[in-house]
Amino acid sequence: MAQIGTTSIPPLTRFFRLLKVDRKLIGHIYLYAVVGGLVSLSLPLGIQAIINLLGSGRVSTSLAVLVLLVMLGMGLVGLLQVLQLTVSELLQQKVFTRTAFEFAYRIPRLKGDTQRSYYVPELINRFFDTLSVQKGLSKILLDFSSAALQAIFGLVLLSLYHPFFIMFSVLLVGLVVLIFRFTGPTGMVSSLTESKYKYAVVHWLEEMARTLETFKLAGTSPLPLERTDKLVSGYLEARSKHFSVLKFQYINLIGFKMLVAAGLLILGGKLVLEQQMNIGQFVAAEIIIILVLNSVEKLIMSMETIYDVLTALDKLGHVMDLPLENNSGSKLQNSFGAAGGMSVQMNGVSVKEADNRRYLLQNLNLNIEAGERICITGRRNSGKSLLLRIMAGLQEPSEGIMNYNGLPLNSLNLESLRQTLGANLEKHGVFAGTLLENITLGKEGIDFDTVQEMAEITGLNRLVQEMQDGYTTMLLPEGRHLPESAVHKILLTRSLINKPRLILLEEPFEALNFPDRNRLLKYLLDPAHPWTVVLSTTQPELAKQFKKVLVLHNGELLTVTNPARITEEAWYNEVFVS
């Protein structure tokens, strides 16, 4: 079962924080509930008055007035419920909207280490727990609060009929508290376990869908059903444990209702026979008792909803609690002029694995002057991609110091840093949106002429001409319906569109033909452009085009003294041939 760790904030604390945000709206709901609870008592009191009036044999206009008052009371209670529903609907909309924007704000700002520890797309499935919070919160605020207030007002009114009912009220409240106290924590634990297995099942189904062709080519592999069976079995076991807690609460409720109803009927009858209560009071008291018991039943039956809401808040918390990048530091545009390239310095930079067992890169020292064109080469899996990710601020060094134009990375606002970057570090950076959105990412200040200019340089313009809708063509996630070369051109156009000060490119020419590659390389190396370029490749022929070439070998950076004669270096065969 997939694990994503535990949160340090208890679910109940998260629930009260949620209520605090919308306390004004919730205050209105409780106000309507209090007034509705008081008005609802007009039914038993009105019936008591009507019975007393009928018992006296004096039927007059007073009877019609009492009936009218009871009807008005019932109508007012209904109106208050409509108002509660209206406020509750507004609250549900606010919860969904706030959670959606919270996710949208946090996802692009998650720290780079998050991707090493979690599969982020699977984590985002927790957003669907927002629906559980919406529906459950509404039920808790409406049904649970109304039932609780109705029970309290009913018990207070009941206590006015006879001192015995005070003892009954204390006993009733005590038993309800005991049921919640001894079964609540167990039910919470079982609900969380059930939810973990639920998401594990969804994750596995998503994995099969993501690698659909892999399982198709496997023929009759039993793995899909075997893994599903294992996870579903875990879910069913967890669900059964959770339901046993709910069933225990329901059984207690049934026994509790039987004892209370029987006891009060017997005692109420005795009080009537001893003339300590009249018939009207007895009927009213029994109606109140029925209302109280129904309210207690609502409270117990709401426990599953409460578990669902608390569990959903815990799951949302797994995403909300993920650490974000530092965006409170110095902004680059306020620190130095906008013209010219960017210098990058590394002093003793090292990166460890997520479990800190070994170094992926160790003690790297690098000085890139503003406006330099650097090629970093080496064998595959030598750490070139990781090095570029560090330069882009996507991966924090475990040790050492990173400077940009003399400013330490830890003191920078990372968003402002990336505004000055043009990076192509991933091959699956196409998302569901229009071609223009995939190029500009919605950034302001990019005119359409610049888009067309960059598309012509990368060769993307030929693809656009073949599209019926041009730049408004909708693209599928990861550009699934596009050839690999088209995806590369989209990402390259995106990297150059904002005329960046630092360009970071990872194997940018893999899928490009020679004319496109040569045109783009010439544009990148043109001295008329003041930017700094750092390009990684495993192709020694491409490295020869650069004046400065660094080789990442055995975790160290080696400087090539003569890039044009790179094939004559002593380590050439070990790096490029072996």
Query: DSSP labels for 95-162?
Result: HHHHHHHHHHHHGGGB-THHHHHS-HHHHGGGGGHHHHHHHHHHHIIIIIHHHHHHHHHHHHHHHTT-
- 476 pLDDT higher than 60: yes
Q: What is the pLDDT of residue 333?
A: 59
Listed range (71-80, 334-343, 515-524) with the worst mean pLDDT: 334-343
Instruction: Write down the CATH superfamily of domain 11-320.
Output: ABC transporter type 1, transmembrane domain (1.20.1560.10)
d(CA 395, CA 405): 19
- What's at 487, amino acid-wise? V
Residue 224 or residue 254, greater confidence: 224
Q: What is the mean pLDDT of residues 36-43?
A: 72
Query: If pLDDT is split at 50, 70 and 90, which confidence band does 5 have?
Result: very low
State which of 142-156, 227-241, 406-420 shows the largest mean pLDDT.
227-241
Residue 445 or residue 58, greater confidence: 445
Strands 474-475 vs 399-404: parallel, antiparallel or unpaired: unpaired
Q: What is the pLDDT of residue 121?
A: 87
Q: What is the pLDDT of residue 64?
A: 74
Map out the domains of the chain as residue ranges: 11-320, 332-577
Distances (CA, A) of 476 to 23, 52, 96, 431, 465: 42, 75, 26, 7, 18
Q: What is the pLDDT of residue 7?
A: 56
Sequence-distant (6+) residues with CB within 8 A of 228 are: 201, 204, 205
d(CA 25, CA 22): 6
Instruction: Give the number of C-alpha atoms closer than 13 A to the C-alpha of residue 77, restricted to the C-beta side.
Output: 16
Contact 378, 551 (CB under 8 A): yes
Query: If pLDDT is split at 50, 70 and 90, which confidence band does 133 have?
Result: very high
Structure tokens at 356: 């800190």
d(CA 493, CA 504): 13
Structure tokens at 242: 């959770």
- 335 pLDDT higher than 60: no
pTM: predicted TM-score of the whole model, two decimal places: 0.78
Q: What is the mean pLDDT of residues 54-60?
A: 65
- 119 pLDDT higher than 80: yes
Query: If pLDDT is split at 50, 70 and 90, which confidence band does 334 have?
Result: very low
Place of tokens 């070439």: 549
Q: Around Cβ 362, how many Cβ atoms within 10 Å?
A: 18
> Which CATH number, 3.40.50.300, 3.10.20.740, 3.20.19.10, 3.40.50.620, labels domain 332-577?
3.40.50.300
Q: What is the pLDDT of residue 492?
A: 92
Q: What is the mean pLDDT of residues 458-463?
A: 92
Query: If pLDDT is split at 50, 70 and 90, which confidence band does 59 have?
Result: low
Cα 367–chain centre separation: 39
Contact 47, 284 (CB under 8 A): yes
In the 8-state DSSP scheme, what is residue 354?
T
Task: Give 25-67 as a 3 state SS string.
Answer: HHHHHHHHHHHHHHHHCHHHHHHHHHHHHHHHCCCCHHHHHHH
Q: What is the pLDDT of residue 415?
A: 85
Contact 138, 92 (CB under 8 A): yes
Q: What is the pLDDT of residue 339?
A: 56
Nearest in space to 155 (alpha carbons), one of 139, 172, 142? 172
d(CA 32, CA 81): 7
pLDDT tens figures, 246-291: 888 888 877 777 777 777 777 777 777 777 777 767 777 777 777 7
- 235 pLDDT higher than 60: yes
d(CA 484, CA 266): 83
d(CA 121, CA 102): 16
- 507 pLDDT higher than 60: yes
The whole-chain average pLDDT of the chain stands at 83
